[in-house]
A and B are shown apart, each in its own frame.
Chain A
Amino acid sequence: MNEVRKPRDPVTGHIKALAKGFKYLLEPNRMTLDYPAETMKLPPNYRGFFTVDDKKCIGCSMCEMVCPPEAITMVPRIIGEGGKTLPAPEGEKETKGPKRTKRPVVNWGKCIFCYFCVDVCPVDAFIPTQVHDVAFEKDKDYRPSYEEYLKPPEEPYKNAKKVVSKADLKRGVSYEPAP
Protein backbone atom coordinates (compact mmCIF):
# COMPACT_ATOMS: atom_id res chain seq x y z
CA MET A 1 0.00 0.00 0.00
CA ASN A 2 2.96 2.31 0.45
CA GLU A 3 3.34 3.08 -3.23
CA VAL A 4 -0.22 4.46 -3.16
CA ARG A 5 0.72 6.69 -0.29
CA LYS A 6 3.90 8.09 -1.75
CA PRO A 7 3.54 11.86 -2.14
CA ARG A 8 3.29 12.86 -5.73
CA ASP A 9 5.78 15.27 -7.17
CA PRO A 10 4.02 18.65 -6.77
CA VAL A 11 4.58 19.79 -10.36
CA THR A 12 3.24 16.70 -12.09
CA GLY A 13 0.58 16.31 -9.39
CA HIS A 14 -0.86 19.77 -9.96
CA ILE A 15 -0.62 19.42 -13.72
CA LYS A 16 -2.46 16.10 -13.64
CA ALA A 17 -5.20 17.48 -11.39
CA LEU A 18 -5.62 20.58 -13.56
CA ALA A 19 -5.61 18.53 -16.74
CA LYS A 20 -8.35 16.27 -15.35
CA GLY A 21 -10.36 19.27 -14.27
CA PHE A 22 -9.96 20.85 -17.70
CA LYS A 23 -11.04 17.62 -19.39
CA TYR A 24 -14.23 17.58 -17.35
CA LEU A 25 -14.76 21.27 -18.00
CA LEU A 26 -14.94 20.50 -21.71
CA GLU A 27 -16.85 17.25 -21.33
CA PRO A 28 -18.92 17.53 -18.17
CA ASN A 29 -20.18 14.32 -16.61
CA ARG A 30 -23.74 15.47 -16.10
CA MET A 31 -26.29 12.94 -14.93
CA THR A 32 -28.99 15.39 -13.89
CA LEU A 33 -32.59 14.92 -14.90
CA ASP A 34 -34.38 18.00 -16.21
CA TYR A 35 -37.26 17.64 -13.76
CA PRO A 36 -40.14 18.49 -14.19
CA ALA A 37 -39.76 18.82 -17.96
CA GLU A 38 -38.65 15.19 -17.93
CA THR A 39 -39.89 12.65 -15.42
CA MET A 40 -38.68 9.15 -14.78
CA LYS A 41 -40.56 5.99 -15.47
CA LEU A 42 -39.63 3.96 -12.43
CA PRO A 43 -39.00 0.22 -12.22
CA PRO A 44 -42.11 -1.93 -11.72
CA ASN A 45 -41.30 -2.79 -8.12
CA TYR A 46 -40.75 0.83 -7.11
CA ARG A 47 -42.65 1.58 -3.93
CA GLY A 48 -44.89 4.54 -4.66
CA PHE A 49 -48.37 5.59 -3.60
CA PHE A 50 -50.85 2.76 -3.47
CA THR A 51 -54.56 2.28 -3.24
CA VAL A 52 -56.81 -0.61 -2.33
CA ASP A 53 -59.13 -2.76 -4.40
CA ASP A 54 -62.49 -2.42 -2.68
CA LYS A 55 -63.76 -5.69 -4.21
CA LYS A 56 -60.79 -7.77 -3.08
CA CYS A 57 -60.34 -6.38 0.41
CA ILE A 58 -61.77 -8.58 3.17
CA GLY A 59 -61.27 -6.10 6.01
CA CYS A 60 -58.97 -8.32 8.06
CA SER A 61 -56.89 -5.44 9.52
CA MET A 62 -53.57 -7.19 8.92
CA CYS A 63 -52.23 -4.10 7.15
CA GLU A 64 -53.16 -1.94 10.13
CA MET A 65 -51.36 -4.31 12.47
CA VAL A 66 -48.12 -4.49 10.45
CA CYS A 67 -47.83 -0.77 9.65
CA PRO A 68 -44.64 0.47 11.38
CA PRO A 69 -45.57 4.18 11.62
CA GLU A 70 -49.23 3.34 12.34
CA ALA A 71 -50.35 5.24 9.27
CA ILE A 72 -53.21 2.90 8.40
CA THR A 73 -56.61 3.33 10.00
CA MET A 74 -59.44 0.86 9.48
CA VAL A 75 -62.65 2.74 8.79
CA PRO A 76 -66.02 1.08 9.30
CA ARG A 77 -67.92 0.36 6.11
CA ILE A 78 -71.32 -1.09 5.45
CA ILE A 79 -71.49 -2.97 2.20
CA GLY A 80 -74.71 -4.11 0.58
CA GLU A 81 -76.22 -7.48 1.24
CA GLY A 82 -74.45 -10.53 2.49
CA GLY A 83 -74.28 -10.01 6.22
CA LYS A 84 -75.61 -12.28 8.91
CA THR A 85 -79.20 -13.29 8.70
CA LEU A 86 -81.12 -11.06 11.01
CA PRO A 87 -83.61 -12.76 13.34
CA ALA A 88 -86.93 -12.11 11.69
CA PRO A 89 -89.83 -10.67 13.65
CA GLU A 90 -92.70 -13.05 14.03
CA GLY A 91 -94.73 -13.64 10.94
CA GLU A 92 -92.18 -12.16 8.54
CA LYS A 93 -89.54 -13.55 6.23
CA GLU A 94 -85.91 -13.77 7.31
CA THR A 95 -83.86 -11.01 5.66
CA LYS A 96 -80.23 -10.66 5.00
CA GLY A 97 -78.85 -7.51 6.56
CA PRO A 98 -76.08 -5.25 5.38
CA LYS A 99 -72.58 -6.44 6.08
CA ARG A 100 -70.44 -4.47 8.46
CA THR A 101 -66.80 -4.51 7.56
CA LYS A 102 -63.68 -2.41 7.65
CA ARG A 103 -61.46 -0.87 5.03
CA PRO A 104 -57.95 0.61 5.29
CA VAL A 105 -57.16 4.28 4.76
CA VAL A 106 -53.60 5.51 4.63
CA ASN A 107 -52.46 8.74 6.21
CA TRP A 108 -49.92 9.93 3.65
CA GLY A 109 -48.29 12.22 6.16
CA LYS A 110 -47.20 9.22 8.18
CA CYS A 111 -46.65 6.59 5.51
CA ILE A 112 -43.00 5.60 4.97
CA PHE A 113 -43.62 3.46 1.86
CA CYS A 114 -42.09 0.32 3.32
CA TYR A 115 -44.82 -1.76 1.64
CA PHE A 116 -45.19 -4.08 4.62
CA CYS A 117 -48.97 -3.66 4.31
CA VAL A 118 -48.93 -4.46 0.60
CA ASP A 119 -46.92 -7.61 1.26
CA VAL A 120 -48.87 -8.79 4.29
CA CYS A 121 -52.28 -8.61 2.59
CA PRO A 122 -53.58 -12.19 2.38
CA VAL A 123 -55.65 -11.46 -0.72
CA ASP A 124 -53.17 -9.08 -2.38
CA ALA A 125 -55.78 -6.32 -2.45
CA PHE A 126 -53.46 -3.32 -2.59
CA ILE A 127 -52.78 -1.76 -5.97
CA PRO A 128 -49.26 -0.33 -6.04
CA THR A 129 -48.31 2.50 -8.36
CA GLN A 130 -44.97 4.07 -9.20
CA VAL A 131 -46.22 7.59 -8.47
CA HIS A 132 -43.95 9.10 -5.85
CA ASP A 133 -43.86 12.86 -6.36
CA VAL A 134 -47.28 14.04 -5.26
CA ALA A 135 -47.44 17.34 -3.41
CA PHE A 136 -50.28 18.04 -1.00
CA GLU A 137 -51.59 21.56 -0.82
CA LYS A 138 -53.55 21.36 2.40
CA ASP A 139 -52.90 19.55 5.63
CA LYS A 140 -56.21 17.76 5.24
CA ASP A 141 -55.11 16.21 1.95
CA TYR A 142 -52.66 14.00 3.81
CA ARG A 143 -55.56 12.21 5.43
CA PRO A 144 -57.97 11.16 2.70
CA SER A 145 -61.40 9.77 3.41
CA TYR A 146 -62.02 6.23 2.19
CA GLU A 147 -63.66 7.45 -1.03
CA GLU A 148 -60.74 9.74 -1.76
CA TYR A 149 -58.27 7.01 -0.93
CA LEU A 150 -59.83 4.64 -3.47
CA LYS A 151 -58.83 6.94 -6.32
CA PRO A 152 -55.22 6.28 -7.23
CA PRO A 153 -53.05 9.37 -6.77
CA GLU A 154 -52.59 11.39 -9.88
CA GLU A 155 -49.20 11.80 -11.32
CA PRO A 156 -48.11 15.44 -11.52
CA TYR A 157 -46.60 16.80 -14.73
CA LYS A 158 -48.54 14.52 -17.03
CA ASN A 159 -47.25 16.25 -20.14
CA ALA A 160 -43.64 15.80 -19.14
CA LYS A 161 -41.37 13.72 -21.29
CA LYS A 162 -41.12 10.21 -19.85
CA VAL A 163 -37.63 8.82 -19.60
CA VAL A 164 -36.04 5.71 -18.15
CA SER A 165 -32.65 5.72 -16.50
CA LYS A 166 -29.95 3.54 -17.93
CA ALA A 167 -26.47 2.67 -16.77
CA ASP A 168 -23.97 4.40 -18.96
CA LEU A 169 -20.29 3.58 -19.24
CA LYS A 170 -19.39 7.18 -19.92
CA ARG A 171 -21.71 9.15 -17.70
CA GLY A 172 -22.83 6.71 -15.02
CA VAL A 173 -26.53 7.36 -15.50
CA SER A 174 -28.12 8.43 -18.75
CA TYR A 175 -31.74 8.77 -19.75
CA GLU A 176 -33.53 7.55 -22.80
CA PRO A 177 -37.19 7.99 -23.83
CA ALA A 178 -39.45 5.48 -22.14
CA PRO A 179 -40.76 2.69 -24.36
Chain B
Amino acid sequence: MSEKIFNIDDLQNINVEGEKYIILQIGPSHPGSGHMRIKVWLDGDIIVKVDPDIGFVHRTSEWLSERREWIKAIPIVERIMLPDTVHANLAYVLAVEKLLGIEPPPRAQYLRSLVAEINRITSHLYGIGIFGIFLGSSTVYMWAFGDREPFIDLMEMLTGARITTSYIIPGGVRWDIPNGFKERAETVLQYMERRLKDYEDIWVKNPVVQARTINVGVLKKEDAISLGVVGPNLRASGVYYDTRKHQPYAAYPNLDFEVPTMKNGDAYDRLLIRVEEIKQSIRMIRQILKDLPEGKIIADQIYNQLNPVMKKNYEEKKRVMFPAFMIHMRPPPGEATAKVEAGRGEIFFYIKSTGDKYPYRFRWVTPSFRNLPFFTHVAVGHRLADLPTIYGSIDYFPPEADR
Protein backbone atom coordinates (compact mmCIF):
# COMPACT_ATOMS: atom_id res chain seq x y z
CA MET B 1 0.00 0.00 0.00
CA SER B 2 2.68 2.40 0.92
CA GLU B 3 5.05 2.01 -2.00
CA LYS B 4 4.76 3.70 -5.33
CA ILE B 5 3.61 1.31 -8.02
CA PHE B 6 3.48 3.76 -10.88
CA ASN B 7 6.52 5.64 -12.06
CA ILE B 8 6.14 9.33 -12.80
CA ASP B 9 8.07 8.88 -16.06
CA ASP B 10 5.24 6.78 -17.46
CA LEU B 11 2.99 9.84 -17.45
CA GLN B 12 3.87 10.59 -21.05
CA ASN B 13 2.07 7.41 -22.09
CA ILE B 14 -1.29 8.83 -21.11
CA ASN B 15 -3.00 10.11 -24.21
CA VAL B 16 -6.50 8.68 -24.41
CA GLU B 17 -8.44 10.07 -21.51
CA GLY B 18 -11.28 7.97 -20.25
CA GLU B 19 -10.60 5.02 -22.47
CA LYS B 20 -8.16 3.19 -20.33
CA TYR B 21 -8.48 5.26 -17.23
CA ILE B 22 -11.38 6.05 -14.97
CA ILE B 23 -11.79 9.74 -14.28
CA LEU B 24 -12.96 10.39 -10.77
CA GLN B 25 -14.22 13.78 -9.64
CA ILE B 26 -13.66 14.50 -5.96
CA GLY B 27 -15.53 17.64 -4.98
CA PRO B 28 -16.15 20.43 -5.87
CA SER B 29 -18.51 21.08 -3.00
CA HIS B 30 -16.14 19.90 -0.29
CA PRO B 31 -13.42 17.33 -0.78
CA GLY B 32 -12.08 18.13 2.64
CA SER B 33 -10.86 21.49 3.78
CA GLY B 34 -12.71 23.86 1.55
CA HIS B 35 -14.07 24.20 -1.94
CA MET B 36 -11.96 22.58 -4.58
CA ARG B 37 -12.33 19.80 -7.11
CA ILE B 38 -9.73 17.12 -7.49
CA LYS B 39 -9.88 15.33 -10.80
CA VAL B 40 -8.18 11.95 -10.59
CA TRP B 41 -7.28 9.58 -13.45
CA LEU B 42 -7.20 6.02 -12.21
CA ASP B 43 -5.78 2.84 -13.63
CA GLY B 44 -7.62 0.29 -11.51
CA ASP B 45 -7.17 2.02 -8.19
CA ILE B 46 -3.73 3.41 -8.96
CA ILE B 47 -3.53 7.14 -9.52
CA VAL B 48 -1.95 8.04 -12.84
CA LYS B 49 -2.73 11.74 -12.87
CA VAL B 50 -4.17 14.32 -10.51
CA ASP B 51 -5.54 17.64 -11.62
CA PRO B 52 -6.67 19.95 -8.85
CA ASP B 53 -9.26 22.37 -10.15
CA ILE B 54 -8.85 25.52 -8.09
CA GLY B 55 -10.55 28.88 -8.15
CA PHE B 56 -13.97 28.09 -6.71
CA VAL B 57 -13.48 30.56 -3.88
CA HIS B 58 -11.61 33.27 -5.74
CA ARG B 59 -12.59 36.52 -4.06
CA THR B 60 -10.61 39.11 -6.03
CA SER B 61 -8.71 40.32 -2.98
CA GLU B 62 -6.12 42.09 -5.15
CA TRP B 63 -8.72 43.89 -7.24
CA LEU B 64 -10.66 44.94 -4.14
CA SER B 65 -7.56 46.22 -2.36
CA GLU B 66 -6.48 48.32 -5.34
CA ARG B 67 -9.75 50.22 -5.17
CA ARG B 68 -9.75 51.09 -1.51
CA GLU B 69 -7.76 53.18 0.90
CA TRP B 70 -4.59 51.54 2.15
CA ILE B 71 -5.93 50.75 5.62
CA LYS B 72 -8.97 48.94 4.23
CA ALA B 73 -6.87 46.12 2.81
CA ILE B 74 -6.21 44.78 6.32
CA PRO B 75 -9.64 43.15 6.80
CA ILE B 76 -9.55 41.92 3.20
CA VAL B 77 -6.27 40.01 3.46
CA GLU B 78 -7.37 38.59 6.79
CA ARG B 79 -10.50 37.10 5.36
CA ILE B 80 -8.56 35.24 2.71
CA MET B 81 -6.40 33.40 5.22
CA LEU B 82 -8.87 32.67 7.97
CA PRO B 83 -6.85 30.19 10.05
CA ASP B 84 -3.83 32.46 9.67
CA THR B 85 -5.19 36.00 9.92
CA VAL B 86 -2.37 37.57 11.91
CA HIS B 87 0.30 36.60 9.42
CA ALA B 88 -1.59 38.02 6.46
CA ASN B 89 -2.17 41.20 8.40
CA LEU B 90 1.47 41.39 9.45
CA ALA B 91 2.84 40.79 5.96
CA TYR B 92 0.73 43.54 4.47
CA VAL B 93 1.57 46.00 7.22
CA LEU B 94 5.31 45.27 6.90
CA ALA B 95 5.14 46.16 3.21
CA VAL B 96 3.21 49.38 3.91
CA GLU B 97 5.65 50.34 6.66
CA LYS B 98 8.55 49.96 4.25
CA LEU B 99 6.85 52.43 1.93
CA LEU B 100 6.03 54.85 4.72
CA GLY B 101 9.42 54.52 6.39
CA ILE B 102 7.97 53.82 9.82
CA GLU B 103 9.74 51.58 12.30
CA PRO B 104 7.52 50.23 15.09
CA PRO B 105 8.88 50.38 18.66
CA PRO B 106 10.35 47.22 20.27
CA ARG B 107 7.31 46.47 22.42
CA ALA B 108 5.07 46.50 19.36
CA GLN B 109 7.51 44.19 17.58
CA TYR B 110 7.32 41.72 20.45
CA LEU B 111 3.54 41.90 20.60
CA ARG B 112 3.40 41.20 16.88
CA SER B 113 5.53 38.12 17.30
CA LEU B 114 3.46 37.06 20.30
CA VAL B 115 0.15 37.13 18.49
CA ALA B 116 1.76 35.59 15.38
CA GLU B 117 3.04 32.62 17.36
CA ILE B 118 -0.31 32.11 19.09
CA ASN B 119 -1.85 32.17 15.65
CA ARG B 120 0.69 29.68 14.32
CA ILE B 121 -0.31 27.20 17.01
CA THR B 122 -4.00 27.55 16.16
CA SER B 123 -3.18 27.19 12.48
CA HIS B 124 -1.16 24.02 12.99
CA LEU B 125 -3.84 22.55 15.26
CA TYR B 126 -6.33 23.28 12.52
CA GLY B 127 -4.12 21.46 10.03
CA ILE B 128 -3.60 18.49 12.35
CA GLY B 129 -7.34 18.28 12.99
CA ILE B 130 -8.21 18.30 9.30
CA PHE B 131 -5.53 15.69 8.64
CA GLY B 132 -7.12 13.59 11.38
CA ILE B 133 -10.57 13.64 9.82
CA PHE B 134 -9.03 12.78 6.44
CA LEU B 135 -7.59 9.64 7.97
CA GLY B 136 -10.91 8.90 9.61
CA SER B 137 -9.98 9.81 13.15
CA SER B 138 -12.75 12.02 14.51
CA THR B 139 -11.03 11.92 17.89
CA VAL B 140 -8.03 13.96 16.87
CA TYR B 141 -10.26 16.24 14.83
CA MET B 142 -12.29 17.10 17.93
CA TRP B 143 -9.21 17.30 20.12
CA ALA B 144 -7.31 19.65 17.84
CA PHE B 145 -10.25 21.95 17.25
CA GLY B 146 -10.98 21.94 20.97
CA ASP B 147 -7.40 22.75 21.85
CA ARG B 148 -7.42 25.69 19.47
CA GLU B 149 -9.95 27.23 21.82
CA PRO B 150 -7.63 28.21 24.72
CA PHE B 151 -5.34 29.92 22.21
CA ILE B 152 -8.19 31.65 20.45
CA ASP B 153 -9.33 32.86 23.88
CA LEU B 154 -5.87 34.35 24.36
CA MET B 155 -6.17 36.14 21.04
CA GLU B 156 -9.61 37.36 22.01
CA MET B 157 -8.30 38.70 25.31
CA LEU B 158 -5.46 40.53 23.58
CA THR B 159 -7.08 41.76 20.38
CA GLY B 160 -10.81 41.84 21.01
CA ALA B 161 -11.73 39.30 18.33
CA ARG B 162 -11.34 35.57 18.05
CA ILE B 163 -10.14 35.12 14.48
CA THR B 164 -10.25 38.30 12.42
CA THR B 165 -8.14 40.32 14.77
CA SER B 166 -7.08 43.33 12.61
CA TYR B 167 -4.57 43.81 15.40
CA ILE B 168 -1.53 45.06 13.53
CA ILE B 169 -1.63 48.54 12.01
CA PRO B 170 1.10 50.57 10.32
CA GLY B 171 3.35 51.81 13.11
CA GLY B 172 2.51 49.28 15.80
CA VAL B 173 -0.37 47.38 17.29
CA ARG B 174 -3.80 48.42 18.51
CA TRP B 175 -3.91 47.18 22.10
CA ASP B 176 -1.39 46.50 24.83
CA ILE B 177 -1.53 43.22 26.72
CA PRO B 178 -4.28 43.28 29.36
CA ASN B 179 -3.88 42.45 33.03
CA GLY B 180 -3.67 38.78 33.78
CA PHE B 181 -2.66 37.86 30.25
CA LYS B 182 0.77 36.51 31.15
CA GLU B 183 -0.57 34.17 33.84
CA ARG B 184 -3.32 32.93 31.58
CA ALA B 185 -0.91 32.36 28.70
CA GLU B 186 1.42 30.37 30.94
CA THR B 187 -1.45 28.11 32.05
CA VAL B 188 -2.50 27.54 28.45
CA LEU B 189 1.06 26.71 27.40
CA GLN B 190 1.44 24.20 30.21
CA TYR B 191 -1.88 22.66 29.26
CA MET B 192 -0.79 22.36 25.64
CA GLU B 193 2.52 20.77 26.56
CA ARG B 194 0.68 18.11 28.52
CA ARG B 195 -1.80 17.60 25.71
CA LEU B 196 0.97 17.12 23.15
CA LYS B 197 2.01 14.01 25.06
CA ASP B 198 -1.55 12.73 24.82
CA TYR B 199 -1.58 13.48 21.10
CA GLU B 200 1.57 11.41 20.77
CA ASP B 201 -0.06 8.33 22.25
CA ILE B 202 -3.42 8.53 20.57
CA TRP B 203 -2.44 9.97 17.20
CA VAL B 204 1.14 10.80 16.28
CA LYS B 205 2.69 7.51 17.34
CA ASN B 206 -0.40 5.42 16.81
CA PRO B 207 0.59 2.37 14.71
CA VAL B 208 -2.44 2.90 12.48
CA VAL B 209 -1.34 6.43 11.64
CA GLN B 210 2.23 5.34 11.11
CA ALA B 211 1.13 2.55 8.77
CA ARG B 212 -0.98 4.91 6.73
CA THR B 213 1.46 7.80 6.48
CA ILE B 214 5.03 6.50 6.47
CA ASN B 215 6.46 6.48 2.91
CA VAL B 216 3.22 7.90 1.52
CA GLY B 217 3.52 10.97 -0.68
CA VAL B 218 7.28 11.25 -0.50
CA LEU B 219 8.62 14.61 -1.65
CA LYS B 220 12.36 14.52 -2.21
CA LYS B 221 14.54 17.43 -1.19
CA GLU B 222 15.50 18.34 -4.77
CA ASP B 223 11.88 18.16 -5.93
CA ALA B 224 10.75 20.31 -3.02
CA ILE B 225 13.21 23.01 -4.04
CA SER B 226 12.47 22.87 -7.75
CA LEU B 227 8.67 22.87 -7.22
CA GLY B 228 8.90 25.95 -5.02
CA VAL B 229 7.32 24.37 -1.96
CA VAL B 230 7.23 26.57 1.14
CA GLY B 231 6.74 26.30 4.86
CA PRO B 232 6.44 23.14 6.95
CA ASN B 233 6.11 21.00 3.81
CA LEU B 234 9.50 22.23 2.60
CA ARG B 235 11.13 21.67 5.96
CA ALA B 236 9.64 18.17 6.15
CA SER B 237 11.68 17.36 3.05
CA GLY B 238 14.86 18.37 4.81
CA VAL B 239 15.37 21.91 3.52
CA TYR B 240 16.45 24.30 6.24
CA TYR B 241 14.57 27.41 5.27
CA ASP B 242 12.43 29.62 7.43
CA THR B 243 11.77 33.29 6.78
CA ARG B 244 11.85 33.92 10.51
CA LYS B 245 15.51 32.86 10.53
CA HIS B 246 16.69 33.92 7.09
CA GLN B 247 14.99 37.29 6.71
CA PRO B 248 13.85 38.03 10.24
CA TYR B 249 11.09 40.50 10.94
CA ALA B 250 9.21 41.66 14.08
CA ALA B 251 10.93 40.33 17.22
CA TYR B 252 12.37 37.18 15.67
CA PRO B 253 15.99 38.42 15.51
CA ASN B 254 15.96 38.55 19.31
CA LEU B 255 14.27 35.22 19.92
CA ASP B 256 16.04 31.96 20.48
CA PHE B 257 14.33 29.18 18.56
CA GLU B 258 15.10 26.25 16.33
CA VAL B 259 13.77 25.47 12.89
CA PRO B 260 12.88 21.78 12.96
CA THR B 261 13.57 19.84 9.77
CA MET B 262 12.85 16.25 8.83
CA LYS B 263 14.56 13.94 6.38
CA ASN B 264 12.08 11.80 4.54
CA GLY B 265 9.47 14.23 3.28
CA ASP B 266 6.54 11.84 3.53
CA ALA B 267 3.10 12.46 4.99
CA TYR B 268 4.29 11.34 8.42
CA ASP B 269 7.12 13.87 8.42
CA ARG B 270 4.70 16.59 7.43
CA LEU B 271 2.60 15.67 10.47
CA LEU B 272 5.61 15.54 12.80
CA ILE B 273 6.97 18.88 11.65
CA ARG B 274 3.76 20.60 12.68
CA VAL B 275 3.92 19.05 16.13
CA GLU B 276 7.57 20.15 16.45
CA GLU B 277 6.71 23.68 15.36
CA ILE B 278 4.00 23.91 17.99
CA LYS B 279 6.69 23.09 20.57
CA GLN B 280 8.93 25.82 19.19
CA SER B 281 6.07 28.32 19.21
CA ILE B 282 5.38 27.52 22.86
CA ARG B 283 9.05 28.17 23.57
CA MET B 284 8.91 31.50 21.75
CA ILE B 285 5.75 32.69 23.50
CA ARG B 286 7.45 32.05 26.87
CA GLN B 287 10.47 34.09 25.79
CA ILE B 288 8.36 36.95 24.48
CA LEU B 289 6.31 37.18 27.68
CA LYS B 290 9.52 37.09 29.74
CA ASP B 291 11.52 39.67 27.77
CA LEU B 292 8.66 41.95 26.72
CA PRO B 293 10.28 45.40 26.63
CA GLU B 294 8.62 48.43 28.15
CA GLY B 295 7.65 51.43 26.10
CA LYS B 296 5.18 52.59 23.52
CA ILE B 297 3.22 50.22 21.32
CA ILE B 298 2.96 52.68 18.46
CA ALA B 299 5.61 54.55 16.51
CA ASP B 300 6.19 58.20 17.39
CA GLN B 301 5.19 59.35 13.91
CA ILE B 302 1.68 58.02 14.56
CA TYR B 303 1.55 58.87 18.26
CA ASN B 304 2.35 62.53 17.64
CA GLN B 305 -0.66 62.84 15.37
CA LEU B 306 -3.14 61.68 18.03
CA ASN B 307 -5.41 64.37 19.40
CA PRO B 308 -5.76 64.96 23.17
CA VAL B 309 -8.80 62.69 23.49
CA MET B 310 -6.93 59.87 21.79
CA LYS B 311 -3.79 60.44 23.85
CA LYS B 312 -5.85 60.25 27.02
CA ASN B 313 -7.33 56.96 25.84
CA TYR B 314 -3.86 55.68 25.09
CA GLU B 315 -2.59 56.52 28.57
CA GLU B 316 -5.64 55.16 30.39
CA LYS B 317 -6.71 52.12 28.40
CA LYS B 318 -3.53 51.36 26.43
CA ARG B 319 -5.58 51.50 23.30
CA VAL B 320 -4.23 53.07 20.13
CA MET B 321 -6.77 55.11 18.25
CA PHE B 322 -6.32 56.09 14.62
CA PRO B 323 -5.30 59.59 13.63
CA ALA B 324 -6.82 60.89 10.40
CA PHE B 325 -3.54 59.86 8.77
CA MET B 326 -4.80 56.27 8.74
CA ILE B 327 -7.56 57.17 6.29
CA HIS B 328 -5.65 59.66 4.18
CA MET B 329 -2.45 57.65 4.08
CA ARG B 330 -0.57 58.30 0.85
CA PRO B 331 2.72 56.43 0.95
CA PRO B 332 5.44 58.01 -1.18
CA PRO B 333 5.82 56.55 -4.68
CA GLY B 334 7.80 53.35 -4.74
CA GLU B 335 7.68 49.61 -4.45
CA ALA B 336 7.89 47.42 -1.39
CA THR B 337 8.00 43.72 -0.77
CA ALA B 338 7.49 41.81 2.44
CA LYS B 339 7.86 38.20 3.43
CA VAL B 340 6.33 36.53 6.44
CA GLU B 341 6.47 32.94 7.57
CA ALA B 342 2.82 32.02 8.07
CA GLY B 343 1.50 28.75 9.44
CA ARG B 344 1.38 27.11 6.03
CA GLY B 345 4.47 28.73 4.59
CA GLU B 346 5.78 31.97 3.29
CA ILE B 347 3.51 34.86 2.31
CA PHE B 348 4.97 37.23 -0.22
CA PHE B 349 3.69 40.77 -0.73
CA TYR B 350 4.49 43.18 -3.49
CA ILE B 351 2.96 46.64 -3.30
CA LYS B 352 3.46 49.57 -5.59
CA SER B 353 2.48 53.08 -4.67
CA THR B 354 2.20 56.08 -6.95
CA GLY B 355 1.60 58.40 -4.03
CA ASP B 356 -2.12 57.99 -4.43
CA LYS B 357 -4.95 57.25 -2.03
CA TYR B 358 -5.12 53.65 -3.22
CA PRO B 359 -2.36 51.10 -3.89
CA TYR B 360 -1.39 51.14 -7.57
CA ARG B 361 -0.53 47.46 -7.56
CA PHE B 362 -1.36 44.99 -4.85
CA ARG B 363 0.07 41.54 -5.37
CA TRP B 364 0.42 38.72 -2.92
CA VAL B 365 1.22 35.05 -3.09
CA THR B 366 -0.11 32.79 -0.41
CA PRO B 367 1.60 29.62 0.81
CA SER B 368 -1.21 27.22 -0.08
CA PHE B 369 -0.96 28.27 -3.71
CA ARG B 370 2.72 27.44 -3.76
CA ASN B 371 2.19 24.11 -2.02
CA LEU B 372 -0.38 22.80 -4.48
CA PRO B 373 1.96 21.76 -7.36
CA PHE B 374 3.67 19.15 -5.28
CA PHE B 375 0.36 17.51 -4.44
CA THR B 376 -0.09 16.61 -8.11
CA HIS B 377 3.51 15.50 -8.18
CA VAL B 378 3.57 13.15 -5.20
CA ALA B 379 0.12 11.60 -5.51
CA VAL B 380 0.91 9.86 -8.80
CA GLY B 381 1.55 6.14 -8.38
CA HIS B 382 -0.24 5.76 -5.09
CA ARG B 383 -3.50 3.99 -4.61
CA LEU B 384 -6.68 6.04 -4.39
CA ALA B 385 -6.97 5.18 -0.70
CA ASP B 386 -3.79 7.19 -0.10
CA LEU B 387 -5.13 10.34 -1.74
CA PRO B 388 -6.83 11.71 1.41
CA THR B 389 -3.63 11.09 3.34
CA ILE B 390 -1.55 13.07 0.87
CA TYR B 391 -4.09 15.84 0.43
CA GLY B 392 -4.59 16.13 4.18
CA SER B 393 -0.89 16.12 4.93
CA ILE B 394 -0.10 19.20 2.82
CA ASP B 395 -2.49 21.27 4.96
CA TYR B 396 -4.01 22.91 1.92
CA PHE B 397 -6.55 25.67 2.44
CA PRO B 398 -8.41 26.47 -0.81
CA PRO B 399 -9.63 30.02 0.01
CA GLU B 400 -6.06 30.94 0.79
CA ALA B 401 -4.78 29.64 -2.55
CA ASP B 402 -7.59 31.19 -4.58
CA ARG B 403 -7.27 34.59 -2.91
**A residues lining the B interface (CB < 8 Å):** 1-2, 4-5, 7-8, 10, 13-14, 16-17, 19-21, 24, 29, 31, 42-47, 62, 65-66, 68-69, 112-116, 119-124, 165-170, 172-173
Give the residues from 145 to 197 in chain B that come closer than 8 angstroms, CB to CB, to chain A. 146-147, 149-150, 153, 156-157, 159-161, 164, 166, 174-175, 178, 184-185, 187-188, 190-191, 194-195
Q: Given known contacts A20-B202, A112-B75, A119-B320, is B150 in contact with A66 (CB within 8 Å)?
A: no
A66 touches B268 (CB 8 A): no
A8 touches B210 (CB 8 A): yes
A17 touches B324 (CB 8 A): no
Q: How many residues of B contact A (CB 8 A)?
A: 62
Kindly state whether residue B354 has any CB partner on chain A within 8 Å: no
Instruction: With both chains docked as a complex, state the minimum distance between the C-beta of B210 and any C-beta of chain A, in angstroms.
Output: 5
Per the bound structure, the CA–CA distance linking A167 and B121 in Å amounts to 16
A16 touches B201 (CB 8 A): yes
A116 touches B322 (CB 8 A): yes
Per the bound structure, the CA–CA distance linking A59 and B128 in Å amounts to 49
Kindly state whether residue B313 has any CB partner on chain A within 8 Å: yes
Query: Top 10 nearest A-B pairs by Cβ distance?
Result: A13-B207, A167-B187, A68-B72, A120-B322, A45-B160, A20-B201, A47-B160, A172-B150, A10-B207, A167-B184
Query: Of B11-19, B29-37, B95-103, B258-266, which binds chain A?
Result: B258-266
Per the bound structure, the CA–CA distance linking A112 and B313 in Å amounts to 23
Residues of B within 8 A of A8 (CB): 205-207, 210
Q: List 20 A-B contacts (CB under 8 A).
A: A1-B276, A16-B201, A17-B203, A17-B208, A20-B202, A21-B139, A29-B143, A29-B146, A43-B157, A46-B161, A47-B160, A115-B160, A121-B321, A122-B324, A123-B309, A124-B310, A167-B150, A172-B191, A172-B195, A173-B153
Residues of A within 8 A of B72 (CB): 66, 68
A66 touches B272 (CB 8 A): no
A17 touches B202 (CB 8 A): yes
Kindly state whether residue B395 has any CB partner on chain A within 8 Å: no
Residues of A within 8 A of B195 (CB): 172
Residues of B within 8 A of A44 (CB): 178
Beyond A1-B276, A13-B205, 19 additional pairs, beta carbon < 8 A: A8-B207, A14-B207, A16-B205, A20-B202, A21-B202, A24-B198, A44-B178, A45-B160, A45-B178, A46-B161, A68-B68, A112-B164, A116-B166, A116-B326, A119-B321, A120-B324, A122-B309, A124-B313, A168-B191
A116 touches B191 (CB 8 A): no
Residues of B within 8 A of A172 (CB): 146-147, 149-150, 188, 191, 195
Instruction: With both chains docked as a complex, state the minimum distance between the C-beta of B318 and any C-beta of chain A, in angstroms.
Output: 9
B153 touches A167 (CB 8 A): yes
B201 touches A66 (CB 8 A): no
Kindly state whether residue B214 has any CB partner on chain A within 8 Å: yes
Instruction: With both chains docked as a complex, state the minimum distance between the C-beta of B291 and any C-beta of chain A, in angstroms.
Output: 21
Most A CB contacts (10 A, CB to CB) among B143, B203, B205, B268 go to B205
